[in-house]
Amino acid sequence: MKTPANARAVIVPSGGANYGSLIEACRRIGVDAAVSANPAQILAATHVILPGVGAAGHAMRALHEQGLDRVLPRLRQPLLGICLGMQLLFEDSEEADGLRAAQTRCLGLLAGHVRRLPPAPSWPHMGWNTLRNRVEHPLLDGIGDADWFYFVHGYAAPAGDDTLAASDHGEPFAAVVARGNVFGAQFHPEKSAAAGRRLLSNFFALA
């Protein structure tokens, strides 16, 4: 496994996330990660992580209220969206934004629209799953077909041009994405044992 060198990681708060498990996962691979909504600290980080749980509308309101929806598009260092955080990287989500809108406008860093997963075989998608149709990329170095990752989500982006790996739950969806300095994992790497640690280590090795 690659060892991150001189990584200064910042976890961006989007409301409702369990930051402790992510901080501990980073610590286990030798990276100190701090939770911060301070724009200067975020912009000064070598790597930025945007986690998220809950609803897209709530998370986008939290980012907007902190001014972070204007900070994240300015980043030039690697940015990793996790679970809901990955969905927020896209243009919008079918997940309703409370009473104000039928859908949620997201960050627009990736092209595409997040959709509700089908009700079968179950909804939401909760549990372990594998990756398929993997594209060779440093983020997926050392990750193979036999590796399992932990998913908890009811919405997902369809596989598209930026998809590095897909997964299936009723239909195919984007499980890992990348465009430029923007990356996303629909699963929770901090809850995915050795395979998750490998992906995080690969992320922190990106310049």
Which residues are catalytic, by number?
83, 188, 190
Name the CA dihedral angle for 28, 24, 143, 129, rounded to a multiple of 10 degrees: 150
3-state helix/strand/coil string of 119-133: CCCCCCEEEEEECEC
3-class secondary-structure state, position 163 = strand
Q: How many of the other CB atoms lie within 10 Å of CB of 118? A: 12
Distance CA(166)–CA(66), nearest Å, equals: 32
Residues 6+ apart with CB under 8 A from 52: 14, 15, 16, 17, 59, 81, 82, 83, 84, 85, 87, 88
Q: Which candidate, 144, 202, 181, places its Cα nearest to that of 50? A: 181
